[in-house]
Amino acid sequence: MDNEKKENKVKPPRYNEKSLIKKFLCSKDGVQFLNSGIKKTHGKDFDVETEIYNLIDFFVAWSLKFPVRKSSTMSKYEFIKYLEDFCDKNGMYQMFDFIYE
């Protein structure tokens, strides 16, 4: 009887970091949110250094929403590098082309 209960019990899905990241980046809270935020802060007359710091701070605040365990244990620069490497390996790098426009 115990074996029947075990067989009928549905296992929760395994933690899959790769699929979580892809799903989040493609959602409305992902790259689309970053794009809208950067367009709002980017003006014609700006100081490059200040703009870079603002961009990094905005990116770090966005990363707090990230559904990945690693994002809470890394520094902001480590997380940016981690995300950059992830997107490069998985062919998602073009999602961030809006930064260079």
| pLDDT > 90: percent of the chain | 0
Instruction: Supply 22's token pair.
Output: 């892809």
| Cβ atoms of 76 and 53 closer than 8 Å | no
Q: What is the pLDDT of residue 44?
A: 61
CA dist 35 and 30 (Å) reads 9
Category of 11 on φ-ψ map: left (φ > 0), alpha (ψ -120 to 50) or beta: beta
Cβ-proximal residues to 65 (8 Å cutoff; 6+ apart), any chain: 24, 29
Put simply, whether the predicted model's pTM sits higher than 0.75 gets the answer: no
CA-CA distance, 101 to 86, in Å (whole number)?
Answer: 22
Q: Out of 33-37, 81-85, 96-100, which region has the weakest mean confidence (pLDDT)?
A: 96-100
Average pLDDT (74-83) is 80
Quote the pLDDT of residue 98: 59
In this predicted model, what pLDDT tens digit does every residue of 49-74 receive, in sequence order? 787 787 778 877 777 787 777 666 77
Which tokens belong to 70? 């690693």
